[in-house]
Amino acid sequence: SSSCIINNSSCSSARPAGHPHGAVQVASDNEDSTSDRFVLASDSLPHSPAASAGDPASSGDAAAPCTVAFRTEHPEGTRLHRLAFAGDVAALARAVRDLGSEEVARLINIQDKHGNTALHIAIMRGHHACVTLLTGEGASVRIRNRECWSPICEAVSYGDRKTILHIIRLLHRELQELGESRRQDLIRLLKSLPDFYLEIKWDFQTWVPLLSRLLPSDVCRLYKKGARVRMDSTLVDFEDMRWTRGDISFLYNGEEKARNAFVMLDNAARCYQRMRRERNSERDLASEADMLMASDVVFAKLDTARAKFSRQQQGWLWRRHERSEQVGAWSASFYEVRGLRLCVRKRREHLSAEDVRRNKEVMEKFAKGHVAQNLEFEERHSLPPPTPPPEPEDEAALEAAWAAYLAGDSPYLGRKPVLKDSIKTHTCRLAMAEDFPLDVKQFLELLRLLAPFKQFNRLREFLSNQLPPGFPVKIEMPVYPTITAQVSFRHYELRTDLADSLFAIPEGFKHSRRRFPNL
């Protein structure tokens, strides 16, 4: 189905946090096993923070990839959690005033035993006034609960458009502030490296019949001079089995002011778009909300907890030896990576039967060879709320509901989840070169620049793990349950002749605010 990965860095679990009865079957631990099914969470299944032995979704280690580990000193939540649950915005405002700014800053992002912050709870209960108050006091919109759901995931599930738009605005602002805080470190790194040219080849592969010939490939050409970077690519976007081809260039100039530092060029259309640091237009935000409300909520996670590296062997049984070959200009040692698990969780309780049908049609067309380009989404209105929670005046009912939530026996705080889990175990291959000019840590910092390119986010996620000695000049890694990417660093050379014009907007290119709608 058509879907949108929300704040993927790069929503996943055996149960949805704050929806304590949800249970999803997950794959066994057999190599290359896959679980891929939609499940309507059942009210009859027990839940507790410690998984019961009879719960197929939470027993053993199979569920581990679908949860987020966190620590909390407040398993029962805080006063803010309780008031957000009740939806009493006047009492919440008084509590914030009485606590004082320093104490509020300490408590505002505390997670309870389900991993929910007060903001999560306010969203799942449909208390928009409490959402506004909490975010005004600094509640983060990027924290994920135990089941990997962030506030925007829960907002889309509940379906209140006003809350969705509010969280989208804050997400843009928070991500921009985070990027600016890292900017100076990145500039120092760029200036410390020699100027260079690097080629990175991407090949996407699958075992699915007829699909492999449709998958894209790409050669990314990366240039670095001083604090400036340019990358040329033919793959504009690649997300959830949809991609857009083109002739594009990404420019970064660390010497410019932040609002002008990032530029995308469409070389075929001879236009450019800046990655905006200022506030997005209401039209852009509305379009983003329409897309989210019409798509699956998706969380993808590359789980390496069980990954094991071993040297790859070659030769006949009696003359086997460790495999070493040339990859480009470098001598590389080859490894097998076993136990790497790609976990994808989707939610669609907010979608109508027509949404599901339309999204299914998109995927069927794709399977027949029609590549899905940018889709248009109609304006979406708020969904009817799920069963309303007790009113604040009904103190007895509120206390009972709150106690049930903490005990793990509560009804759903929002809309009953409809979930789909895919967990696939992969065996991948890796070639490490100890004489490559860059080290992994330096390259990871460069990858932060390439966040608009979703395939590089998966590469960064893979490289963030503990690797064998050297630099991975050839990588095979999962990007979707049925698709792997082979990434090769084919060519690297030091360059002292890179022209300044290579990092500038060419003459004659016109400005476009909407050429790259996902920026």
Residue 347, domain member (yes or no):
no
- Domain contains 242: yes
Give the pLDDT of residue 331: 93
Q: pLDDT band for position 77 (50/70/90)?
A: confident
Report yes or no: 314 and 268 within 8 Å, Cβ to Cβ.
Answer: no
Q: Which amino acid is at 65?
A: P
* Residue that the structure tokens 């500039």 belong to: 187
Q: Evaluate whether residue 82 is within a structural domain.
A: no
pLDDT value at position 489? 92
Q: Domain residues for 270?
A: 182-277+300-306+424-511
Asked if residue 287 is part of any domain, the answer here is no
Q: How much is the pLDDT for 135?
A: 98
Mean pLDDT of 79-100: 95
- Split at pLDDT 50, 70, 90, the class of 27 is very low
Contact between 151 and 119 (Cβ < 8 Å): yes
Contact between 277 and 176 (Cβ < 8 Å): yes
Using pLDDT thresholds of 50, 70 and 90, give the confidence band for residue 318: confident
Residue 476 lies in a domain: yes
Query: Taking 80 as the threshold, does the pLDDT of residue 209 lie above it?
Result: no
The mean of the pLDDT values for the chain is 79
Is the per-residue pLDDT at 170 higher than 90? Answer: yes
pLDDT of res. 32 = 36
pLDDT category, 353, cuts 50, 70, 90?
very high
Q: Which range is most confident: 23-27, 194-198, 393-397?
A: 194-198
Burial label, 452 (beta-carbon count in 10 A; 0-12, 13-18, 19+): middle
Q: Give the angle 386-390-395 at the CA atoms, nearest 5°.
A: 165
Q: What is the model's pLDDT at position 499?
A: 95
Find the CATH number of the domain harbouring 432: 2.50.20
- How many domains does the chain contain in total? 1
Max avg pLDDT among 138-152, 234-248, 266-280, 399-413: 138-152
Residue 400 backbone dihedrals phi, psi, to 5 degrees: -65, -40
Q: For the range 121-124, what are the long-range contacts, defined as Cβ-Cβ under 8 Å and sequence gap of 24 or more?
A: 121/18, 121/77, 121/81, 121/84, 121/85, 121/413, 122/84, 122/87, 123/151, 123/154, 123/155, 123/158, 123/163, 123/167, 123/414, 124/18, 124/19, 124/154, 124/157, 124/158, 124/413, 124/414
**How many Cα neighbours within 13 Å face the side chain of 351?**
23
How confident is the model at residue 431, as a pLDDT? 94
Q: Residue written as tokens 């103190």?
A: 395
Specify if 323 maps to a domain.
Answer: no
Domain-located, residue 459: yes
Which carries the bigger pLDDT value, residue 4 or residue 121? 121
User: Burial level of 119, CB count in 10 A (0-12/13-18/19+)?
Assistant: buried
How confident is the model at residue 334, as a pLDDT?
Answer: 95
How far is it, in rounded angstroms, from Cα 295 to Cα 369? 22
**Torsion sign across C-alpha atoms 334, 326, 493, 202:** negative
Radius of gyration of the chain (CA): 24
**What's the rounded mean pLDDT across residues 447-459?**
73
Average of per-residue pLDDT across 437-454: 81
Picking from 343, 355, 380, the residue whose alpha carbon sits closest to that of residue 2 is 355
Tokens of 106: 């300490």
Query: CA-CA distance, 126 to 74, in Å (whole number)?
Result: 23
What percent of the chain lies above the pLDDT cut of 90? 38
Cα 317 from chain centroid? 44
